[in-house]
Structure 1
């Protein structure tokens, strides 16, 4: 029987999924994660954590530990845009896109029209008739995304879709993901950008060493760890070793972490805490060089919940 989560049935369920490369290295270790119908699910984790392997298994025909709902059991219902797209170098971007869409069953005219529309959306209209072999890595990425969204699969799988995209390209990707969801599609994407994941994913899964360590909405992940905003005050000269040398710690400051030339203050509300904290250090005779305000991100939540940093390289 299909398990129902929050009124929406899982489109794909990974249950204690494991995978090892031919050389014996373990890529996935008892990974358990549901992909709910109609959501955008983001996978966050360091390099080598198993995100790409998981996406490939979701796209494949059969893998022990993966169960699919009937609507995505047919391979034509799934599409994987890999992190290193490969095209026929001698064909143009337009020809590559149209050929792949025709292979999915579109008529010649439908494939050409869809290819033209999505190439334009991803900023490739002026380069559509150039050989794909002359494309930069960023252009190849945009071509792969144009084809993936043009294919309109029920389950869209994107491996590092932000790689090589400028801010305009990332904005187009965000709009395309929203449109795909509005049309009833489901998307799973891996990313290194916690800001993009927080803004555009319905849920985020933290993947470490081939396991899913936590999954929830971005807001609930941050609430679970109680990460507060931080005010970083940098000094022109070395500051005190700890806050005990300063009197009258301002209200709303929960903790202070001192460095040689800076203090990081965990605060309730930066707007209210900033004037008081600046006055606090100035009264102590410290010379302020700069002030930064950091709002909590999923990278902070990832560190608290997994004990690992997103930027580290596992292998």
Structure 2
């Protein structure tokens, strides 16, 4: 017997958004968020990830439907890429105040603030003014408040920015605990490795659209598992593609980016000398060569034709 499909927690259907200056941020973006999942948003700077998170946190967005369980503002929490903290208040006071504003009672807010400040390694600095904190400490404090609120839908904009290895480990553990408690998280990240290891699904966002969304393992299956050689070119050093001869035996160009070429190879050690000679004969200058196993960055380039390190193009 086939089980009925479970409706998504949030469904975006052709969501578009234009800034007051007329520039487009989102263009017909469609994406579902499933209950209990960790969904990673990957895309170049300026592609619309932050805007989409802000719309998920708001109300009355055309094309955006939420399940009743997350329809109330108290069921959602947005941790922006620039934490809004009161510099004159201590870290503990900042966290407790944010939790109270989210609806917690004062005693409950203070208790949750203490627990999560400790989990993010800030207990020794909890009574210092937040204005004296480093950017990494401010990030950890904002994350402590976000997880302390225990929202049904947690929205995290670049949560890894500024975190040291200890902070990243604390964040990964908090994210796992949030999911175990039944929470759903959507996070924009610039680290494909973290997204592959910690997210149930990843959505590739390009020019305000969702190009593809799937489990990391299935995205990698779509591009194959052979090693990749990435050749990067300096400005003006890209080879003349019309002058390129057929690729050497055992080498298949997987994708061209802006300033880079990714090749799928069987044996990198044997193929590399011939491959370099191949692009140099076409007039290329080579800035760097990197041999690695395929990852989500490769999947992004191959499936979208864009590079994660690009600045997004104008979608207007």
Q: Specify the TM-score bucket, using the shorter chain as the normaliser.
A: 0.7 to 0.9
1:204 — aligned with what? Answer: 202
CA contact under 8 A between 2:265 and 2:271: conserved in structure 1? no
Q: Distance in 2 between matches of 1:52 and 1:72?
A: 19
1:65 — aligned with what? Answer: 63
1:145 — aligned with what? Answer: 143
Equivalence map 1:134-283=2 (5 Å): 134-226=132-224, 228-230=226-228, 253-255=250-252, 266-268=264-266, 273=267
Q: Distance in 2 between matches of 1:232 and 1:103?
A: 48
Equivalence map 1:72-151=2 (5 Å): 72-151=70-149
Across the two proteins, how many residue pairs are aligned to each other? 282
CA contact under 8 A between 1:14 and 1:33: conserved in structure 2? yes
Q: How far did residue 277 of structure 1 move?
A: 6.5
Q: Distance in 1 between matches of 2:150 and 2:125?
A: 23
Q: Distance in 2 between matches of 1:256 and 1:29?
A: 30
Judged with a 3 Å threshold, the aligned counterparts in structure 2 of structure 1 residues 6 and 201 are, in CA distance, closer, same or farther, namely: farther
Runs of 4+ in 1 over 6 A off after TM superposition: 241-244, 274-281
Judged with a 3 Å threshold, the aligned counterparts in structure 2 of structure 1 residues 19 and 292 are, in CA distance, closer, same or farther, namely: closer
> In angstroms, what is the RMSD of aligned CA positions?
2.9
CA contact under 8 A between 2:74 and 2:103: conserved in structure 1? no
CA contact under 8 A between 1:49 and 1:210: conserved in structure 2? yes
1:26 aligns with 2:40: no
Q: Distance in 1 between matches of 2:268 and 2:50?
A: 42
CA contact under 8 A between 1:14 and 1:66: conserved in structure 2? yes
Q: Distance in 2 between matches of 1:256 and 1:64?
A: 41
Q: Deviations over 1:119-167 (max 9, x none)?
A: 1111111111100111111111111100000001000000000110112
Judged with a 3 Å threshold, the aligned counterparts in structure 2 of structure 1 residues 8 and 242 are, in CA distance, closer, same or farther, namely: same
